[in-house]
């Protein structure tokens, strides 16, 4: 009955209850119990430390074929994990390429100051453009104070 309640072609607990003659509450309880048992039997993934990964990569280095397969089963790994760990270890041990060195604190500070300077230059250029536009509008439309004085006199 529990199998009928799960999966892609699952039937509702109410339908099974009417069909079989068992209460819906009992079926739901059985379903919850089955799911908790399934959760307990599901294998947990191990959290590997860097030292453990390095040990596995070293031990697997000379193995191939069935020996490698037996080793991976014993460790509970898949070959793709071993390949990824090997690539990460090789990348970490590789010579650092020129130009990719970590920037010093002083270099980071210089970059930060240059970024701030560019931002302030943009803001200053925008303000200058707004002032120029304001002056042009004043020359085209005239001074706002002049037009109000002329209207109040008439």
Give the residue extent of every domain in the chain: 2-41, 50-93
Do 34 and 2 touch, CB atoms closer than 8 A? yes
Phi and psi torsions of 138, nearest 5°: -65, -35
Residues near 5 by beta carbon (within 8 Å), at least 6 away in sequence: 11, 13, 16, 27, 31
pLDDT digits (tens, 9 = 90+) for 17-68: 888 888 888 878 888 887 776 654 555 567 888 888 888 888 888 887 888 8
Asked whether residue 122 carries a pLDDT value surpassing 70, the answer given is yes
77-86 average pLDDT score:
85
pLDDT for position 75: 83
């Amino acid at each position: 009955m529990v199998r009928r309640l799960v999966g892609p072609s699952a039937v509702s607990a109410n339908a099974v209850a009417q069909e079989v003659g068992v209460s819906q509450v009992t079926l739901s309880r059985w379903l919850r119990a089955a799911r908790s048992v399934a959760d307990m039997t599901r294998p947990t993934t191990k959290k590997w430390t860097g030292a453990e990964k390095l040990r596995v990569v070293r031990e697997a280095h000379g193995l191939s074929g069935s020996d490698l397969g037996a080793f991976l089963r014993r460790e509970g790994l898949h070959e793709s994990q071993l390949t990824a760990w090997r690539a990460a270890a090789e990348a970490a041990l590789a010579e650092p390429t020129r130009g990719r060195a970590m920037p010093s604190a002083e270099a980071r500070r210089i970059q930060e100051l240059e970024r701030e300077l560019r931002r302030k230059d943009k803001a200053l250029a925008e303000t200058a453009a707004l002032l120029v536009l304001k002056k042009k509008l004043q020359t085209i439309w005239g001074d706002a104070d002049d037009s109000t004085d002329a209207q109040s006199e008439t």
